[in-house]
Structure 1
């Protein structure tokens, strides 16, 4: 697989993951998952963060973070639409953003280790 095909694969996977996350977040009655709401948010945004870093390896990590955090905020705003019968919760966005930051810190550490390795 060429480098270009590799990036295309990760970008396609990221697009699918973002689509699934948005659809699940906006379904009036999402499927029951055996995990707390905050755990679901953190898992989703942890995966989205890793996929974003793989799909856009040259992107600045803070840009990935701000865009994913914005996505989390927009999901919460959309959940405030009465017809969806969902709840807008600022703490969900805090959970999203906390996981995004945590994963980006780990990615930054791994990248810095690789740059120093002989």
Structure 2
């Protein structure tokens, strides 16, 4: 799981930095919120999850770890697409808000699942 998280983290970083470079070159910062979410939810959080799997979770491939990976990716991608569409003025807030809410909850659930993985790992290692 560590490799999957790290590879997706770098993918988010590349897209986030490309968006940042585009905003700087065009002198149009309207996607700054999307850029920040690419870098934080996409890159940083995925990278931290990858480090957690490598350093503490023994690169677990349990069902919980797999579910946590896909819930995070689905939530992150949906948040990022929704923000891009909203800040790019392709859709109204009323149209995209429910999707942003649900996808944000998915990112939150993935974080809770990571905590559960840590609790399980700690219990296993202490026995």
TM-score range relative to shorter protein: 0.3 to 0.5
Instruction: Decide which structure has greater helix share.
Output: 2
Using structure 2 for the length normalisation, give the TM-score: 0.39
Using structure 1 for the length normalisation, give the TM-score: 0.41
